[in-house]
Amino acid sequence: MLLHIFKRLGKVADEAIVKMVYFSLCQSILGYCIVSWGSAAKSHMMKIERAQRALLKVAYRRPYRYRTNLLYAETKVLRVRQLYILSTTMRFHKTSHYGCRSQQRSSRLINWDRPYINKPFGRRSFAFMGPYLYTKLNKSLKILKQRRKICSKVISLWLLNLDYEKTEDVLKTCHKKAT
């Protein structure tokens, strides 16, 4: 149904309006409870990512074989996995000052409470992924002391510069044994 809407909209509206409608209709659907389902297996997420790509290609009038990296770079839209990283990190950022074992808020001394989880399925939960992703992004982006809006903008810009493989690498290392 959305493909039909965006096919017609792409013919009559400019790219700014198409992007606004995309964020209001599609991004809101993709972002709904993504912290819960966004860490699903890669094979399940590929179906959603293909649907997102198809919708963007139709909305922005790009050919069927248009390169995916160019599509996301031109539209400045986060992929589904990147949206998951952003949502999980921002949700953890909201409560991050309560889970920190360190009294000092220096980025070097942060040691987040992260449960020991033995099974790969359990390591996909927010209890494990939240602290892991937040610590990983804080090391490179220094987001601990940032306000929520600035933190979201910094993470979004960083994620927009990642391609598919680098995004998967951010998520892949978290499935190793917890320390």
Q: What is the pLDDT of residues 92-130, one digit of tens each?
A: 988 765 445 444 445 444 556 667 777 777 778 888 888
> What pLDDT was estimated at residue 58?
92
Pairwise CA distance, residues 112 & 131, whole Å: 6
Residues 7 and 51 in one domain: yes
Task: Tell me the pLDDT tens digit for each residue of 128-141.
Answer: 888 889 988 988 89
- Which of 77, 92, 108 is the endpoint of a domain? 77
Task: Domain count for the chain, please give it.
Answer: 2
pTM: 0.84
- Which of 77, 107, 127 is the endpoint of a domain? 77
Residues 69 and 27 in one domain: yes
Nearest to 9 by CA among 74, 26, 19, 80: 19
Q: Which two tokens stand for residue 120?
A: 């790969």
- Which of 26, 56, 77 is the endpoint of a domain? 77
Per-residue pLDDT, averaged over 66-91, amounts to 94
- Residue range(s) defining the domain that contains residue 49: 2-77
Residue 178 scores a pLDDT above 50: no
